[in-house]
Chain A
């Protein structure tokens, strides 16, 4: 039995109606592909902050960060602190994002073409789309599980509810592109933030700080507060998260889409510095929810799957009325992420993967193709992510799909902006290495003869090795080719 009532249902319905209207209305402002993909490059700072924050917080994020709080205590917030530091420094210095925005590209691979050629642009597009879509493939089901547990719905309605939600999101994204995404993200940021703040304040007031700290101390000891003494974490975990989150700030297409839609590079940098601390909130807030589940639920109530502990706790803790705000907030979080991701992977398919096939397409044809791509991605997500249950460990899956893409694209971007000798040989070597090392580690884990070695290396050393090896592949690959006299892109764009 949960606290979800007709009043909560009305709040959720009102929110959904407002979002759909706002999203659909944006269609009349879309006349060109540039409007559709990067909002005509008219995004200003505060809209950018709202959009970036809303995009990077989905239900899947909330579930995993809460699980981190449940399993690792306060130390589970380390990835958020790493990402906040990385984003703040990148925003402050303009590292990579300034030359990227100044280049006038609509996607990262488009910028790569100027330095590494068409083939690398195409290959980078394929890697980004594969990594991104496979990563996104698990969002729907995880989001549905949260809603089913919190609202107490029958699990048989999960597929139908999430399909309806995805169709709604796809409709306004197809019609209004980035403009719909930005405006609905803004609404969703406000609704999501109100829900997150209200529920966290309730937890701090009713469960209490002392009880949270005692629960973490009892279950995790000193390791629940200090990642360096936690046997599951240590410095490799911290260092790996620093690499991973820096890479995400530099090349995760959904994040970079805000840089590319910004009015200018100065606006993009201000969006980064302004949003940086949100990434601490992104881990601390759901982390506190997970710790509250740890403090209040017994092992029988929490269930075997620690991922479900937080929604089970919220289903009985959050009172009527506030439950509607919570569910609306979580729907907002999920919708903003889904719409942005649909558009962002679609933009790479149109702009880069289809680049060799585009010959003098009109703006009208470009818009039709973009809309068709988003519709097809929606169908793929339904078939792959919702109706086909994923087998195996979800976290490993997310980590591998993310690392395949982030390690090579980050290396290519840094080299493209700042290393004179970087060339297509190095870029190709980096892309191959970036995919090969994480997949090789997975294979080692599955084969009985090599499993002990994989366990000895561990996921964090393997992740760190990927970044180091990809960097080395770029250097050695580039040095093997005769000298390229092209100057770094930053000098060329002035």
Chain B
């Protein structure tokens, strides 16, 4: 079954491996992105003064 449809089998495996990996990686790096984004916005608001 695998040899007959190797393209779809490989693509399915690639999807599972890539998606699992990217979920963990993005979860870690995305948390850092959120912290930095909020920190920069806070600093900009302080620099701009009350609006």
A486 CB to closest chain B CB (Å) equals 34
Nearest chain B CB to A434 CB, angstrom units: 33
| B17-33 interface code vs A (CB 8 A; 1 in, 0 out) | 01110110111011111
Q: Is A316 an interface residue, CB under 8 A from the partner?
A: no
Report yes or no: B12 in contact with A288, Cβ–Cβ below 8 A: yes
Name the A residues within 8 Å of B48 (CB-CB). 31
Contact B16 A280 (CB under 8 A): no
Chain A residues with CB under 8 Å of B1's CB are 209-210, 213-214
Q: For A47, give its contact among B11, B19, B25, B34 (CB under 8 Å).
A: B34
Docked-complex contact A44 and B41, CB < 8 angstroms: no
Contact of A193 (CB < 8 Å), options: B23, B31, B40, B45: B23
CA distance A43 to B29 in the complex (A): 12
Are B34 and A209 in contact, CB atoms less than 8 angstroms apart?
Answer: no
Bound form: Cα–Cα A46–B30 in Å: 5
A126 interface hit (Cβ, 8 Å):
no
Number of interface residues of A (CB under 8 A): 43
**Known: A42-B37, A280-B15, A285-B15. Is A197-B23 also a contact (CB below 8 A)?**
yes
The answer to whether A44 touches B15 (Cβ under 8 A) is: no
Contact in complex: B41, A74 (CB < 8 Å): no
Cross-chain contact A363 with B51 (CB below 8 angstroms): yes
SS of A interface (majority): helix
Q: Is the CB of A197 within 8 A of B37?
A: no
Within the complex, the shortest CB–CB distance from B51 to chain A, in Å, comes to: 5
Inter-chain contact A190/B23, CB cutoff 8 Å: yes
- Closest B residue by C-beta to A225: B5
**Is A94 in contact with chain B by the CB < 8 A criterion?**
no
Given A50, A225, A285, which contacts B19 in the complex, CB threshold below 8 Å? A285
C-alpha gap A243/B29 in the complex (Å): 33
Which chain A residues in 197-225 approach chain B with CB under 8 Å?
197, 200-201, 204, 209-210, 213-214, 225
Q: Closest chain A residue to B45 by CB distance?
A: A31
Question: Chain A residues with Cβ under 8 A from B29's Cβ?
Answer: 45-46
State how many angstroms separate the Cβ of B3 from the closest Cβ of chain A. 11
Q: Is A47's CB under 8 angstroms from B37's CB?
A: yes
Q: Using CB atoms, name the residue of chain B closest to A186.
A: B30
Asked if B33 and A46 make an inter-chain contact with CB atoms under 8 angstroms apart, the answer reads yes
A32 CA / B47 CA spacing, docked (Å)? 14
Residue interface bits A352-369, CB-to-B below 8 A is 1, else 0 = 000000000001100000
Chain A contacts for B37, CB-based, 8 A: 39-40, 42-44, 47, 182
Contact between B16 and A277, CB atoms less than 8 A apart: no
Known: A210-B1, A288-B12. 16 other contacts (CB 8 A): A40-B44, A46-B29, A50-B26, A74-B5, A74-B8, A179-B41, A186-B30, A190-B26, A193-B23, A204-B16, A209-B9, A209-B12, A281-B18, A281-B19, A284-B11, A284-B12
List 13 interface pairs A-B (beta carbons < 8 Å), by A numbering: A46-B33, A47-B34, A47-B37, A77-B11, A197-B20, A204-B16, A209-B2, A209-B9, A209-B12, A213-B8, A225-B8, A277-B18, A281-B15
